Amino acid sequence: MVWFIVGACVLALVVLALFLTLLRFNQLSMARSLCDEAKRQLLVELRGRHALVPAYIGTLQQVTTQDLSSVELALASAERAPFGPRGAAAESALTRAVDDAAQIPSQIGDRAIATDSSLAMQASPSEELDTTISLLHGQLNVLTDRILSGARIYNTNVDLYHRQRERVVSRLFQNVFKAREPFTEAQPQQTFTEAQPQQQSGAQDQSGPAGS
């Protein structure tokens, strides 16, 4: 009778362990799927913006002779950058380049008016091109907002997924459920050897006036 009770308890523990293991496996699988789906949607928005930038550059080239290579280089870098911190940094650089280029038509018009008001109409871009540039820039801004929103959703899912992976039972499946790279710019971290001389110089600066 005693052995029967012990055997039943052991069997119950084994069944419970299997149940918890399967439950954790399903939770990890669901968390990974959420990350992959968020990444897929984010990539759609990124590719949509990359496809629109050439039309934006082409329209700007019709109204200015200024060098737009910075936008072209930013686009090329964003298209080549791997998904992750490097990709996020490249997308931020592309956003800045696009916003800077959007100021070119107004700068041309201001310079033309300042030079000679009688030549303002000849020097300034046509209203059609101005409208097209504004519309394209507006569409790019909408895509940028979607990218930022998609990146937040993706990074939130990645954070939750990584927390799931760090739990005790989840460590059994770490070779199956690989880590996902967040889509955020890597923040430069100051090393201890770089920070120490600065702290020492700061302490000397503070002690100098006190001694005098």
Q: Which residue has the tokens 């082409």?
A: 58
Q: Are 64 and 104 in contact (CB under 8 A)?
A: yes
- What separation in angstroms does the CA of 106 have from each of 12, 113, 117, 130? 76, 11, 15, 9
> 1 vs 4, 6, 12, 176, CA distance in Å?
5, 9, 17, 42
With tokens 């409208």, the residue in question is 131
Tell me the pLDDT band of 80, cut-offs 50, 70 and 90.
very high
Closest to 157 measured CA to CA, from 165, 146, 167, 145? 165
Query: pLDDT band at 106, cuts 50/70/90?
Result: low
What local confidence, expressed as pLDDT, does residue 108 receive? 54
Predicted local distance difference test score (pLDDT) of residue 74: 95
Percentage of the chain with pLDDT > 70? 78
> Does 206 or 65 have the greater pLDDT score?
65
The residue-averaged pLDDT of 161-188 equals: 86
pTM to 2 decimal places:
0.75
The pair of three-digit structure tokens given for residue 177, joined into one six-digit string: 């459920």
Length of the chain: 212
* Mean pLDDT along residues 32-61: 94
Instruction: Give dist(CA 80, CA 74) in Å, integer.
Output: 10
Q: Are 55 and 182 in contact (CB under 8 A)?
A: no
The predicted structure's pLDDT at residue 123: 43
Instruction: Report H helices in 81-126.
Output: 85-101, 104-115, 120-123
pLDDT (0 to 100) of residue 67 = 84
